[in-house]
Structure 1
Amino acid sequence: MNYKFLHDRVQQAAYSLIPQQERSRVHYQIGQLLIQQISPAAIEEQIFSVVNQLNYGIALIEDQTERSDLAQLNLTACRKARAATAYQAAREYAAIGLNLLGESAWQRQYEMTLNLHEIAAEVASLCGEFDQMDRWIDTVIHHTRTPLERVSVYIVKIQALSSQNKFLEAIAIGLLSLKELGVELPDRPTSEDIQQAVQEINSSIGDRPIEDLFDLPAMVNPQKLATMQVAASMVSACYLIGSSLFALVTALQVNLSIQYGNSRSSAYSYSCYGIFLNSFLQDVTVADRFGRLAYRLASGADAKNIRSETFSVIGLCLYHRKSHLRDTVPIIQAGYQAGLETGNLEFVGYGGQAFCINAYWCGQPLAELEPQIRAYRQQLLDLNQLTTANYCSVFWEATLFLLGNPNNLEISFEEEGYEEKLVSQSFASNDFYRLCIFYLYRATLRFLLGDIAGAAADVDRARQYIAGSVGTTSEAGLYFYDSLIALATPEFEAELETQWQRVEENQRKLQHWAQHAPMNYLHKWQLVEAEKYRVARQRAEAIEMYDRAISGAKENEYIQEEALANELAAKFYLDWGKEKVAQAYMQEAY
C-alpha cells in the first residue's frame, strides 16, 4: 500500500518536527527501507530516490563494506545522471562515491575506483572544471596497470584540450596514448607515409564495393577498439590546425575497420576519410560513397553516440560536394541534437558552427539567420565550448554587419587591437581555421563595401591559412572572392600576369567543385568568368556570363549571390555607358 502527504505544506510541517540531529538517521533508514522493498532488477529505475536518502546518512556508516556498497550505488546514480545530461548532479554523485571508498581504494576496490575516477573526470570536464578534471586524470594515470585502462581519461583530456583551443597539446596526448597502445605515428607524416596508408586501404577493400563495408562484422579486439577511440578523439584537432596527421590518423582508423570490423567510431572515420579523398586526392565520387556509408552507419537506432561527430563532418565537408548546400542543414541539426542528448559537447560545438557556415552561405535571409546564429553561439558559450563559440562569433558579426547592425552592437572586426589579439591567440594554439574564417569573412565584407585594398590584404592572409578550412564551403568561397577581389583591384593590369595566374588557379579549383555540385558552385565560377571577360574587354562574352550567373544563382536560391551578380553586371554596363540597362540590373540587385 502506498501513502503520500495530502499537501507539500503538510510534509514540510511533519519534517520540521524531526529533531535536526535525527534527520540524517531518518533519511538513512528510509533509504534502507527502499532498498529492502525494491527488487535488485528495479533498483536502477529508482536509484536517485534511494541514493539521495542514503547519502544523508554517510556519517553514520562506519563499516567499509557498507560504504563500498553505497559507493557502487552512487556510481550507478552518476552514470544515470550523466546519461540524462545532468552533469552537476553526476559530478556530486561521483565525488561522494570516491569519498566513500576512502584510503587504499585502489587496493581494495580497483575496478570501482577506476570507474568512479573515469566518470568523475568526464563530468568535471563537461562542467568546465578542468583543474579538477586534471586531478582525477592524474590519479588514474598514476594507479592504472595497463594502457587500455588509461584510454578513457586520455580521451577526456584530448576533448577538453580541444574545447580550450589547445590543439597541439591535444594531439600530443593522442600520440602518447597511441604509442602506449603499440601504434607509433610520425609527428610530421610525409606524402610517402600517406600514400602508403591509402594503398593499404585500397588493398584491403580490393574489388568490394565501398557500400559492402556496411556489413563488416563488429570489431571485438579490445586493443584495436581502444586505438580507434583515441585516433577518433584527436582527428578534429589535426584538421583544425591543418596537420598532415589528419590524413594518417584517419587512414589508420579506416584500415583497422576494414581489417578487424566496424566499431562505434567507424562511421566517423569513414566520413573523415571522405574529407581526405575530396581535398587531397580530388576524388569527389569515392568521397561521396564513403560519406553515404558513414551516414547509414550513424543513422542506426543504436548509433546515437556517434551521430553527432559523423553528421557534423558529413554536413560541413561532404554532402555539399554533390547536393545543394541547404540540404546539409537538417543533417547538421540532427547531429547537433544527438550531441546534446549524449553529452558529446565537443561536436555540439562543431555542429553549431557548421550550421552557421552553411546557413550563411546557402542564401538564407539574413534577418532570419541572425537570431539563429546568435542562439547557437550563446548555447556554446553556456556549454563552455569556447573554441567553437568564437567561430560562431565570426559568422554572427558578419551577418550583423550586412544587416547594418541596427542595434549598434560591438563588432570585433571594427575594434582597434582585436586583430592583433586574435592572431596572437590563434598562433599560440595553431588555430589556423579561426584565422582563415576571420580574414575571409572580413575580406568579403570589405569587398562588398568597395574597400578593395583592404579586401585584397585580408584575402591574402586568408589564403595562408586555407588548410584550416579544407573541404568546407568556405574554401570555395575563398576561391570565389579572391578572384573577384583580384579582378576589381585597380592595379590588376599592372600585375597582369601574376594576378591572372592566381585567378586561373582559383577558377580551375572552383570549376572542379562546380562539375560535381553545379547547384552550389557553377554560378560562382560563371560570375568570375564574367569579370574576367570584363577586364579583357570582351563584352559579348561578359554579358552572357553575367546573365548565366544571375540565372543560376536565382534558380538555386542563392539570393545574396544573385544580388551580387546583378550589382557587378550593373557596374559593367555603367562603365560601358549603358545607364538604362545598368539601372535595370541595379533594381534587380536590391
Structure 2
Amino acid sequence: MNLSLTADHTSYLFTAATQLNLGGPSAVQDAEQYAQIAHFNLAAGKRAMEMSDFSLAFSFFDHGMTFLRKKHWQHQYDLSLELFNLAAKCALATKDLSSLTMICDEVSRNAHNVEDALNCSFISMSALTHSRISESVEYGLRILSSQLDVYIPNSPSREDTLQLIMQTQARLSGISEETLLSYHMLSDCRKIMVLKFLAKLESSLQQVNPALLPYVTIKIVDITIEHGLSPMSSIGFAYFGSMIAELGDIRGGYRYAKLAKALLEKNHCNEIAGEVLLQSVEILSYVEPLQTTNEHRIRAQATAMAAGDVYWACMNKLMIPCTLMWSGAKLSEVRDAFINSRRFSEQHEHHTTIYYMKTFERTISILIGDEDQALSDNQWIQQVIENNNPYQLVVVYFHKMFLSLVFNNYDEMILSTEKFLESRMPSWHLLSGHAVHAFIGGLISFRIYRQTHDHVWSHRGERFKQRIKTWKEQGSLWNFEHKSFLLDAEQSYSDGNLDLARVSYENAILSAQQHKFIQEEALAYELAANFYLNTGNEAIALKYFTSAHGKYVEWGAFAKAKPIYAYLQEKFRSALLSAAPNDAGENNDFQSVAFNTVNQKSRPSS
C-alpha cells in the first residue's frame, strides 16, 4: 500500500482516508503502515478543521488514534500527542465532553513533561466554562500558580487596582501602535501557554470575580511588552481598552480596541476573533453611530463559528438584535432577529444567551401588544429571579425599569430601579448596555425626585447624566447628544428651571430625530408633552402627545400608542373637535393613525 500525505485535492484526501478507515486496523498487513495511516488521518483532520468541519475532523483524528499500536506513547510520541491534542480541540468544538475527558486524561497520564500536558489542561478548562464556570476559574488559577509560576492576587483593593491600571497606561503611552505591531512573535512555549490561560480567564472572571480582571488583563499586556506578541495579546489589549473606557477615557479605550483588532489581523488567529471583535465593538459603540456597528458583529459571529468557537459565536449573535433594539429599528424586525438568535443558541445549547434573549423578547411582546406571548414569558422571568444570578437579574430589572418608564408605572419604577441598583455588580469593563442603563436610569431618577423630593434620587440622576455627558464629549455625538439633552431637560424641570428645560426638550427631540433613534424621539416628545401640560401650555402638549403617538406607532410599540390615543381622546377631545381648519389635515391624520393603532392586532412571528 503506497500512501501519500501530499494529496492535491481535499476530496481525494478525504475519500482516501475514509476508505482506509473503513478497512480499520485489522485490514493492515504491514506494521509500518499503522503509523502511515495515522499520519494520513492527521492530515485529513487538519484539512477538515481548516474548513470549520469539526465533526468530520474529530472523526479523522479518532480513526487515526485507533491505528496507533501498543506503546505508541513511547515509540510515536509526537504523532500521538498531536492527534490527541487536536482531537480534544474538536471534541470541545462539538461539545463531546465525554470524549474530551477521556482524551485529556490519557494525555495527562502519558505526557513527558508539564509543557506537553498544558494544552489538554487548557482545553479542559475551556470545557468547564460552558457549564461550571466557577470551577473553570479555579482550575485556571491553579494551573497558573502551580505549573506556570503566575500568581493573581486574591482580593485586591480598588485603590491598588486603579494605581496598577494608571501605571500600565503610562507605560503604554510611550509605545506607539506601530512599535507594538512590529514586536517579534513570542517563541517561549511556557509563556504562550500562560497567555492562553490568562486570556481564557478574562470572560469567566467577569461572572465569578470581577475584581481580579484588571490583574489578568495587565499580566497579558506586560508579558507582551516584555517577551513579544502572541495571538492572545489582542485579547489583553481589547480588555485593557475596555477598562480605560470604563474609567472615562473613551478615546484611550478606542485606541486599544483598534490595536487589538490590528493585532488580530496580523496574527490571523480566528480562534479568538469572536471574543476580541465583540469586546472591540462594545467600545466602538461609544464612538461610531450605533446603527453601523452590527456589520462588525455579524462578521465577528461568522468568524467565531468558522473557528468552532460556539460560545463567542452565540454571544455575538445575541448582540445583533440587542443593537437593533436600542438603535431604533422597527420592533417587528427586532423580534424576528431575537427569535433567529435564540434558535441559534438553542441549537448549540448556549443557555446563558437564551436567558438574556427571552428577557428582551418579553419586553418586545409587551411593547407590541402580544399579551399571550408576554404572559408566557412571565414564567421565564420568574425563573430567572429565583435563580438569583446577579448578571441575569440586572438585565431583568433593567427591562422592568424601562417598561415602567415607557408605561408611566410609578410604583414599578421605584421597585425595579431599587432592585436594579441592588443587583448591579461593579464592572471594570465598559459594555454597550451601560449606555442605555445610564440613560433610562437617569430619566427615572429625575422622575422619582420630582415626586418625592428625595435628594438621593437627584444625586443618582446627576451621576447617570454625567456618564452620558462624558460619552457625548469623548465618544459619539450621534449616539449621546439627544440623551444628554433629554437628561438635562428632566433635571432642569425637576429643579424648577423651566426655561432651560424647554430649550433642552426641543434640542433632545431634534437631535433624536436627526440621529435616527425613533424610540427615543418618541420618548422625548412624550416627556416634553408632559412638561408642557404641567406648566400650562396645553396647545403644545397636544401637539407633542400627537407626535409621540405617531412615533410609537412607527416604532411598532402599539401597546404604548393605544393609551396615548385614549388619553388624548379623554383630555383633549374638545380641542381635537374644534381644531382650526388649517389644523384639520393634521388632526384627521392623527385620527386615522390612532384608529388603525387601536384596531391593529400584532401577530407573533413564526
- Is TM more than 0.5 here? yes
Deviations 1:3-46 (A, max 9, x none): xxxxxxxxxxxxxxxxxxxxxxxxxxxxx4xx55x574648663
| Aligned residue number for residue 506 of structure 2 | 547
| Aligned residue number for residue 384 of structure 2 | 422
Return the alpha-carbon distance in structure 2 between the equivalents of residues 112 and 176 of structure 1.
29
Does structure 1 residue 287 correspond to structure 2 residue 253? Answer: yes
| Aligned residue number for residue 131 of structure 1 | 98
| Aligned residue number for residue 226 of structure 2 | 259
Query: Post-superposition shift, 1:102?
Result: 4.8
Q: Are the counterparts in 2 of residues 241 and 468 from structure 1 also a CA contact under 8 Å?
A: no
| Aligned residue number for residue 476 of structure 1 | 435
Does structure 1 residue 522 correspond to structure 2 residue 481? Answer: yes
| Aligned residue number for residue 216 of structure 2 | 249
Query: Post-superposition shift, 1:83?
Result: 2.7
| Aligned residue number for residue 560 of structure 1 | 519
Does structure 1 residue 274 correspond to structure 2 residue 232? Answer: no
Query: Post-superposition shift, 1:49?
Result: 0.8
- Amino acid of the structure 2 residue aligned with 1:409: Q
Return the alpha-carbon distance in structure 2 between the equivalents of residues 371 and 139 of structure 1.
46
Query: Post-superposition shift, 1:216?
Result: 1.8
Alignment of 1:401-480 (within 5 A): 401-405=366-370, 408-409=372-373, 413-415=377-379, 418-425=380-387, 427=389, 432-463=390-421, 464-467=423-426, 470-480=429-439
| Aligned residue number for residue 100 of structure 1 | 67
Q: Are the counterparts in 1 of residues 128 and 135 from structure 2 also a CA contact under 8 Å?
A: yes
Query: Post-superposition shift, 1:149?
Result: 2.0
| CA pair 457-108 structure 1, distance change in 2 beyond 3 A | farther
TM-score (norm 2): 0.83
| Aligned residue number for residue 46 of structure 1 | 12
Does structure 1 residue 174 correspond to structure 2 residue 145? Answer: no
Q: Are the counterparts in 2 of residues 291 and 314 from structure 1 also a CA contact under 8 Å?
A: yes
Match of 1:80 among 47, 55, 59: 47
- Amino acid of the structure 1 residue aligned with 2:498: R
Does structure 1 residue 186 correspond to structure 2 residue 153? Answer: yes
1:289 is paired with a residue of what secondary structure? Answer: helix
Does structure 1 residue 574 correspond to structure 2 residue 533? Answer: yes
Deviations 1:65-110 (A, max 9, x none): 4323222222222222233222322232232222332543323322
Query: Post-superposition shift, 1:503?
Result: 1.4
Q: Are the counterparts in 1 of residues 214 and 428 from structure 2 also a CA contact under 8 Å?
A: no
Query: Post-superposition shift, 1:574?
Result: 2.3
Q: Are the counterparts in 2 of residues 197 and 252 from structure 1 also a CA contact under 8 Å?
A: no
| CA pair 76-384 structure 1, distance change in 2 beyond 3 A | farther
Query: Post-superposition shift, 1:588?
Result: 1.5
Return the alpha-carbon distance in structure 2 between the equivalents of residues 379 and 410 of structure 1.
21
Query: Post-superposition shift, 1:412?
Result: 6.1
| Aligned residue number for residue 555 of structure 2 | none
| Aligned residue number for residue 385 of structure 1 | 350
Does structure 1 residue 400 correspond to structure 2 residue 365? Answer: yes
TM-score (norm 1): 0.85
| Aligned residue number for residue 296 of structure 1 | 262
Return the alpha-carbon distance in structure 1 between the equivalents of residues 339 and 286 of structure 2.
27
2:426 is paired with a residue of what secondary structure? Answer: helix
Gaps of 5+ in 1: 1-31
1:375 is paired with a residue of what secondary structure? Answer: helix
| CA pair 537-195 structure 1, distance change in 2 beyond 3 A | closer
Q: Are the counterparts in 1 of residues 58 and 90 from structure 2 also a CA contact under 8 Å?
A: yes
- Amino acid of the structure 2 residue aligned with 1:434: Q
Q: Are the counterparts in 2 of residues 204 and 259 from structure 1 also a CA contact under 8 Å?
A: no
Q: Are the counterparts in 2 of residues 78 and 94 from structure 1 also a CA contact under 8 Å?
A: yes
| CA pair 420-235 structure 1, distance change in 2 beyond 3 A | same
Match of 1:121 among 88, 112, 124: 88
| CA pair 467-327 structure 1, distance change in 2 beyond 3 A | farther
More moved, 124-133 vs 260-269: 124-133
Return the alpha-carbon distance in structure 2 between the equivalents of residues 461 and 392 of structure 1.
20
| Aligned residue number for residue 3 of structure 1 | none
Q: Are the counterparts in 1 of residues 126 and 136 from structure 2 also a CA contact under 8 Å?
A: yes
Q: Are the counterparts in 2 of residues 335 and 351 from structure 1 also a CA contact under 8 Å?
A: yes
1:189 is paired with a residue of what secondary structure? Answer: coil
- Amino acid of the structure 2 residue aligned with 1:374: I
Does structure 1 residue 349 correspond to structure 2 residue 307? Answer: no
RMSD between aligned residues: 2.6
Return the alpha-carbon distance in structure 2 between the equivalents of residues 102 and 356 of structure 1.
52
Return the alpha-carbon distance in structure 1 between the equivalents of residues 38 and 248 of structure 2.
54
Deviations 1:125-145 (A, max 9, x none): 222222332232233233323
Return the alpha-carbon distance in structure 2 between the equivalents of residues 484 and 109 of structure 1.
67
| Aligned residue number for residue 499 of structure 1 | 457
Q: Are the counterparts in 1 of residues 314 and 344 from structure 2 also a CA contact under 8 Å?
A: no
2:245 is paired with a residue of what secondary structure? Answer: helix
More moved, 350-359 vs 192-201: 192-201
Deviations 1:228-285 (A, max 9, x none): 1111112111224461221111111111111122211222221111011111x32222
| Aligned residue number for residue 332 of structure 1 | 297
| Aligned residue number for residue 330 of structure 2 | 365
Q: Are the counterparts in 2 of residues 308 and 344 from structure 1 also a CA contact under 8 Å?
A: yes
Query: Post-superposition shift, 1:54?
Result: 0.7
Return the alpha-carbon distance in structure 1 between the equivalents of residues 61 and 281 of structure 2.
36
Deviations 1:152-198 (A, max 9, x none): 2233233333233x322221122122221121112333336535643
Q: Are the counterparts in 1 of residues 165 and 214 from structure 2 also a CA contact under 8 Å?
A: no
2:274 is paired with a residue of what secondary structure? Answer: helix
| Aligned residue number for residue 191 of structure 2 | 224
- Amino acid of the structure 2 residue aligned with 1:249: V
Return the alpha-carbon distance in structure 2 between the equivalents of residues 111 and 197 of structure 1.
42
Return the alpha-carbon distance in structure 1 between the equivalents of residues 189 and 439 of structure 2.
47
- Aligned pair count reads 545
| Aligned residue number for residue 180 of structure 2 | 213
- Amino acid of the structure 1 residue aligned with 2:306: E
| Aligned residue number for residue 157 of structure 1 | 124
Query: Post-superposition shift, 1:487?
Result: 2.9
| Aligned residue number for residue 307 of structure 1 | 273
| Aligned residue number for residue 583 of structure 1 | 542
| Aligned residues with identical type, % of pairs | 21
- Amino acid of the structure 2 residue aligned with 1:422: V
More moved, 367-376 vs 189-198: 189-198
| CA pair 377-578 structure 1, distance change in 2 beyond 3 A | same
Q: Are the counterparts in 2 of residues 324 and 520 from structure 1 also a CA contact under 8 Å?
A: yes
Q: Are the counterparts in 2 of residues 204 and 255 from structure 1 also a CA contact under 8 Å?
A: no
2:112 is paired with a residue of what secondary structure? Answer: coil
Return the alpha-carbon distance in structure 1 between the equivalents of residues 366 and 72 of structure 2.
58
| CA pair 207-62 structure 1, distance change in 2 beyond 3 A | same
Query: Post-superposition shift, 1:301?
Result: 8.2
| CA pair 537-204 structure 1, distance change in 2 beyond 3 A | closer
Return the alpha-carbon distance in structure 1 between the equivalents of residues 77 and 364 of structure 2.
54
More moved, 234-243 vs 176-185: 234-243
Return the alpha-carbon distance in structure 2 between the equivalents of residues 157 and 392 of structure 1.
28
